[in-house]
A and B are shown apart, each in its own frame.
Chain A
């Protein structure tokens, strides 16, 4: 990665000998070239953030109770009580999402300054606020790390994970019909089914 742009391949990929490797590279020359041009001199970094979801929710509930917004639904029948509970949950979720977006926007604003491309995973679980990958020019990697350290130091109570530099696993673009996207394991399974079709009673596969 120091001197060259590395293209990642699927985990457990094994190529049988130099000739097969060259032949494969020839077959997918255009796919490789396009990605190498786009990813030249760039590296991938990962950032994950866990936030104190319980405390955030508690704060939202307290604020909600203070403002007494449940006046939207009055009455004490079981149907009304059900609706009131649902409405409170709906408002809680809405506020929770708003707060998450606010935090993510601030963080992303800092990281994006030094990134060429990004992919943001928001609230993949209640606690995992952000699961992001950034594509960063080699020359910008120190600045990117500094931005991370700044965000980390200004968000007490949040937990951070920083990883990289990696080859650009998440930024490879392949045409939809590229054979490189084919799932070879499925092909293997189909071949096995064909071989044993008599056994499974499917003579006309």
Chain B
């Protein structure tokens, strides 16, 4: 059995054990939908961060920065700043309302039927698109990493879907909270380790690192190009690049506060003060993580290189390939397993 497959299976075993434990404890609506409102501030904060740092962050951002430099980092910035909207406007009133869903909260003050219809439509739309992206990612990742294990793309997508349903149906919010916490800790640990190795590669000299970023070499249409990856404009080009950037900013700053899988976490804490504390925890983790995407993305650009990534799985494999070139196959398997855990946990 290959190394990544073993780590995948280990993660699945641990999370199923948590689900079993949670299903024994949960009884009644509040226990199932809101983990009995007994999740503490730091626990919920880590879970929020875990929910938020999806495969798009870990694999996608590293890939975008590795291929398009600074412009990719624009995503990282918006993803943290968006939490100010959550902190200042959304988290506490949501918890104070003492309900289970966003629709319950809105229906409290407005006419319930149309509000509930709208809220469920919005929730289903957001979740469906979010889930499709995650499941496609899971399928692609499994198909790529477990080529020799005989698991096909379709089997991977179906398998991941079944697991998500099992977590949620049997474990409720208590199980998904703990799955998120484990996943977030793994993800942050993996990212710190990768960042450390990138810095070590550049002899712990930020000057050397940034110099390398400003002289990235790759091939474009057969010609060799040397590009400054710190310079804006590699992704967002005229004539509409500026508008794209502003549109991206609007989506991030105001969209994050409406993500159903984030909002639902604020019902799991005992009071508004804990909701606030959990946003602060989440912001500390999320911010640190996205600052470290500097090392993941630019590290992949300078150490692995666009040419190699493009022929070995494409942009989304930047972070795992970086791990492989820095510390060999075991670390590669570990990072892949984290990516897999990320995908598996994020929708749950």
A and B part of one assembly: no
